[in-house]
Amino acid sequence: MAETEQPQLYLISPPELELSQFPDVLARVMDAHPVACVRLALDTKDEDRLSRAADALREVTHARDVALVINDFVPLAERLGLDGVHLGAGGSVRDARKALGADAIVGAFCGISRHDGLSAGEAGADYVSFGPVRPDALHESVFVEQELLQWWSEVIEVPVIAEGNLDRAHITSLAPFTDFFGIGMEIWGEDDPAAALTALLADIQ
């Protein structure tokens, strides 16, 4: 996932999805917008469900030469031939790298912690993600300040993703300081996710 002047798109699946519908929805979004990577982020530990979802999404992403990573499940990423893994809190970048090899994508979610971001970068993460970028019902007082992303973009070479509760205004203001925008539930709940994404990105494209 190479850096560019404008942030690239990193799509995050819904925590629950209908396999008879979502792959087609994802395909429409990807055909309407260039996407750098897709993350399978189901809220389940059921390996059968995860495997079936990964197989369905991989058909869509790989047909478009786009990487597909999965949340946390390093063994599944290896077994299913995915492009890598996105680690949540407590995940070991070094262990994932050892298991998946040098060519795999290993990313790490670091919340709002500069220290965690630096630790992940030093351990060999291909990217770190910070979020959420603004308060919501679950994170009324925990969100990423623009200052952190600005500092990271100026000082650290490891690519960074801004994600979590993004809106058009935050996308516009954070665009100079992030390599990727992680977009997920901001669009999946809309009648036309591709059009919703167009609206979110209107000021930077």
**pLDDT grade, residue 10 (50/70/90)?**
very high
Structural domain for 118, as ranges: 8-200
In a domain? residue 30? yes
Write the pLDDT tens digit of every residue in 72-118: 999 999 999 999 999 998 899 999 999 999 999 999 999 999 999 99
Q: Enumerate residues 6+ apart whose C-beta is below 8 A from 145.
A: 112
Residue 119 sits in a domain whose CATH number is 3.20.20.70
What local confidence, expressed as pLDDT, does residue 3 receive? 43
Q: How many residues does the chain have?
A: 205
Averaged pLDDT score across all residues of the chain: 94
Q: For the chain, how many structural domains are there in total?
A: 1
Q: How confident is the model at residue 140 (pLDDT cuts 50, 70, 90)?
A: low
| Domain-embedded: residue 1 | no
**Phi, psi (deg, nearest 5) at residue 43:** -90, 65
CB 12 within 8 A of CB 186: no
Residue 82 lies in a domain: yes
Is residue 105 included in any domain, yes or no?
yes
**Residue 4: band (very low, low, confident or very high) from pLDDT cuts 50, 70, 90:** very low
What's the pLDDT tens digit per position in 14-38?
Answer: 999 999 999 999 999 999 999 999 9
Task: Check residue 37 and give left, alpha or beta (phi > 0: left; psi -120 to 50: alpha).
Answer: beta
